[in-house]
Amino acid sequence: MNPLVIAEKDFGKNVLTSVEARAFYREWRKLASSRAGTWSAIRDAKFTVAGKKSSGIAIISALRSHLAALQAERCCYCRRRLDGIAYARPIEHVLPKDTFNQYTFTYRNLAVACFDCNHVKTNDNWSNWPPARRRYLKEKSCGGFFHARLHEYDSHVRYLHLETNGAAISVYAGLTPQGRHLCVELLRKSSERTLSVSANPRFSAAMDKLRGQVQQIAATHDDVKLLDFMEALELAADPT
C-alpha cells in the first residue's frame, strides 16, 4: 500500500482518537472539496468530544504534530530542526490554498515547514497543475518542481548544516531538476535569511527572548492571535 495512504489512515484512526474528532475531520474534507471551506474557518469551528467543547485548533495541532513526526521533526524543505511552537512550525500547503482551495485539507498536500521557508515560499505556485482540477496530482505530474510529500528528499537534494560562533550556515546541492528548482526558488533565499539573522547578535538575542515568552503562553492557551502577532513581528524585523 502507498505509504501516504498508510500514514493518512494512521492519522485518522490513531491520532484522532475520538469519533467526534474523526467526523469533524471528514467534514473538513467535504467542505474543501466543494470549495466552501477555508483554513481559518475550520480552525475556528467548534465541535464536542464526550460532552466537552473542542475546536479546529485541536485538530490542526494534532495534524501538525503528526506531519512533523513523519518528517523526523525537520522542515520539509530545508531539513533544519523544527522549533517547538506553532508559529515556527506552520503547516505548509504544497499547492497553495489560495489557488487550489479544493486541496486545502488534502492530506498529501500538507507538510510542516519552518517559519523561514514558509515565509519565503508564501503563496508561490510552482506547478502547472490546472487550478480547477478536483483530482490531486501524482508524482509523475509534478514536472520540474519538488513536492514535499510526493518526492523523497534525499533523492533530490543534498545538504550540510553548520553552526559556528555567531552564524548558522546551510549549503544545498540539487541532484535532480526538481532538487535544483527547490534550491533556486527557496533554499538559497531561506539560507541567506538565516545567515543574516544569526549574524546579528542583538537582533537574534531579542527574537530568542520573545520566542521563549510566546512559547510559554502558547503552550497553555494556543492563542492564535498571539502567534499571528509574533509572525508579523518577525516579518517586520526581517533584515533581508
Q: Along the 240 residues of the chain, how does pLDDT read in single tens digits?
A: 678 888 888 887 778 878 888 888 877 777 766 665 677 777 777 877 777 887 788 888 888 899 999 999 999 999 998 875 555 688 899 999 888 988 888 889 999 998 888 888 888 899 999 998 888 999 999 989 999 999 999 999 999 887 776 667 788 999 999 999 999 999 988 887 766 665 566 656 665 666 566 555 555 555 555 555 556 555 555 555
Strand locations in 167-224 (E): 167-174
Per-residue model confidence (pLDDT) at position 98 = 86
Per-residue model confidence (pLDDT) at position 187 = 92
Asked if residues 141 and 133 have their Cβ atoms less than 8 Å apart, the reply is: no
- Cα separation, 34 vs 134, in Å, equals 9
- Cα separation, 198 vs 1, in Å, equals 43
Per-residue model confidence (pLDDT) at position 197 = 61
Residue 144, CB-side half-sphere exposure with 13 Å CA sphere: 7
Q: What is the pTM of this model?
A: 0.78
Per-residue model confidence (pLDDT) at position 235 = 58
Q: Which long-range contacts (CB under 8 A, 24 or more apart) does 146-155 make?
A: 146/178, 146/179, 146/181, 146/182, 147/94, 147/178, 148/76, 148/77, 148/92, 148/94, 148/111, 148/113, 149/4, 149/76, 149/94, 149/108, 149/109, 149/110, 149/111, 150/4, 150/108, 151/178, 153/76, 153/79
